[in-house]
């Protein structure tokens, strides 16, 4: 079964408990939490209180994606809030290896994210320090954007890097993932698919997840 990580940002916050219970019944393992600061990206989302509440009341693997400047300032805060995976942007922290090492030291899995126009070249210097690579297939900050096809070549190259490293690194894609392109992304070697609008649209969560998983 394809691993889908529904993005909490697209959930119905008025009925968040209901949405989360429906995800659980649909055997969702990962929950993607987009944290935005209005600086690194031109939007503000939610922060530590929401993550703490979700952690307290669910057992999802909390896949926290920090779209914030200088994320190294808050690593311990996210650990205490309940994050399982903490992903930072290559573009947002100067001392990337140090930040990733600290995430692991705190007991979380360390992820690194690349914007669509960012080269994957840096990854070869930090492969021993990461557990997840998140390829952005839209420019981060807003949901509902269309997939950027040019990212496909980057996905292929990163998949090759992971395979050649021999490490157990998750390859995740975020942005514009839908029922029409998910099969081709799987063929490129993607392990985990972030789905926002595609998972929650029209509040038809079960139907949407079934389509993303290609369940008959």
User: Mean of the pLDDT values across residues 157-182?
Assistant: 96
pLDDT at 90 over 90: yes
CA dihedral 41, 43, 46, 47 (to 10 degrees): 40
Cα–Cα distance for residue pair 196/122, rounded to 1 Å = 28
Among 54, 170, 163, 59, residue whose Cα is nearest residue 112:
170
Is the Cα dihedral 183, 191, 83, 41 positive or negative? negative
User: Mean of the pLDDT values across residues 134-147?
Assistant: 78
Cα–Cα distance for residue pair 4/205, rounded to 1 Å = 12
Number of C-beta neighbours around residue 76 at 10 A: 13
Query: Higher pLDDT residue, 89 or 142?
Result: 89
Element counts in the chain: helices (H) and strands (E):
8, 8
Cite the active site residues: 34, 174
Half-sphere exposure of 40 (CA within 13 A, CB side): 22
Class of domain 3-212: alpha beta
pTM listed for this prediction: 0.94
pLDDT at 1 over 90: no
Cβ atoms of residues 34 and 7 within 8 Å? yes
Give all strands (DSSP E) within the chain, no chain letters: 3-6, 30-36, 61-67, 85-89, 109-114, 132-136, 170-174, 192-195
pLDDT tens readout for residues 43-80: 878 889 999 999 999 999 999 999 999 999 999 999 99
Number of C-beta neighbours around residue 97 at 10 A: 15
Cα–Cα distance for residue pair 188/153, rounded to 1 Å = 9
Binned at pLDDT 50, 70 and 90, residue 146 comes out as confident
Burial state string for 49-70 with b = 16 or more CB within 10 A and e = fewer than 16: ebbbebbeebebbbbbbbbbee
Q: What are the C-alpha distances in Å from 42 to residues 37, 176, 179, 184, 214?
A: 8, 18, 27, 30, 34
Binned at pLDDT 50, 70 and 90, residue 135 comes out as very high
């Amino acid at each position: 079964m394809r691993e889908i990580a529904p993005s909490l940002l697209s959930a119905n916050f008025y009925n968040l408990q209901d949405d989360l219970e429906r995800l659980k019944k649909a055997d969702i393992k990962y929950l993607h939490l987009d944290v935005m600061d209005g600086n690194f990206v031109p939007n503000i989302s939610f922060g530590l209180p929401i993550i703490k509440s979700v952690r307290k009341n669910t057992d999802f693997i909390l896949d926290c994606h920090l779209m914030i400047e200088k994320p190294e300032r808050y690593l311990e805060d996210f650990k205490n809030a309940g994050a399982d995976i903490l992903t930072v942007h290559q573009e947002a922290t100067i001392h990337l290896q140090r930040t990733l090492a600290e995430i692991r030291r705190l007991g979380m899995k360390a992820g690194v994210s690349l914007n669509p126009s960012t080269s994957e070249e840096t990854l070869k210097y930090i492969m021993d320090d990461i557990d997840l690579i998140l390829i952005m297939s839209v420019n981060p900050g807003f949901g509902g954007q269309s997939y950027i096809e040019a990212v496909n070549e980057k996905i292929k190259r990163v998949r090759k890097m992971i395979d050649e490293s021999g490490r157990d690194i998750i390859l995740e894609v975020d942005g514009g993932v839908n029922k029409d392109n998910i099969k081709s992304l799987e063929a490129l070697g993607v392990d985990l698919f972030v789905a926002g609008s595609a998972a929650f649209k029209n509040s038809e969560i079960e139907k949407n997840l079934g389509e993303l998983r290609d369940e008959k």
